[in-house]
Structure 1
């Protein structure tokens, strides 16, 4: 069985560039969260750092990937 990864109109659900930018943002957020948790042993601080890392990563990679 194969899965259809495209919408009914033949267009992909997400553009390749957008998928890469979001993936790199998620990886940046995870890295920031893990490093913050290892340094402070605080889940709320790690979650805030992960969110900030994700936002900054998406903005950064959006500007450098063309």
Structure 2
């Protein structure tokens, strides 16, 4: 039995969400904000991106 833990769609949605969150975190940190504020911005961007990409990417 060779079952994967995540489907390809779920892995793609989560990967894109993490990439968006990391980008928002880096840009917020580079703007001179504190580490707590940049982590909060990255987490919020990640959550929004996961919801967006889940809606955009078709289940096919």
TM beyond 0.5: yes
- Structure 2 equivalent of residue 5 of structure 1: none
Moved over 2 A (4+): none
Q: TM-score, normalised by structure 2?
A: 0.90
In the alignment, structure 2 segments of 5+ residues that lack a partner are: none
**Pick from 12, 18, 38: which aligns with 2:30?**
38
1 or 2 for the larger relative contact order (CA 8 Å, sep ≥6)? 2
RMSD of Structure 2 on Structure 1 (CA): 0.9
Which structure 1 residue ranges, 5 or more long, are not aligned? 1-8
After TM superposition, the score normalised by the length of structure 1 is 0.82
In structure 1, what is the equivalent of residue 56 of structure 2?
64
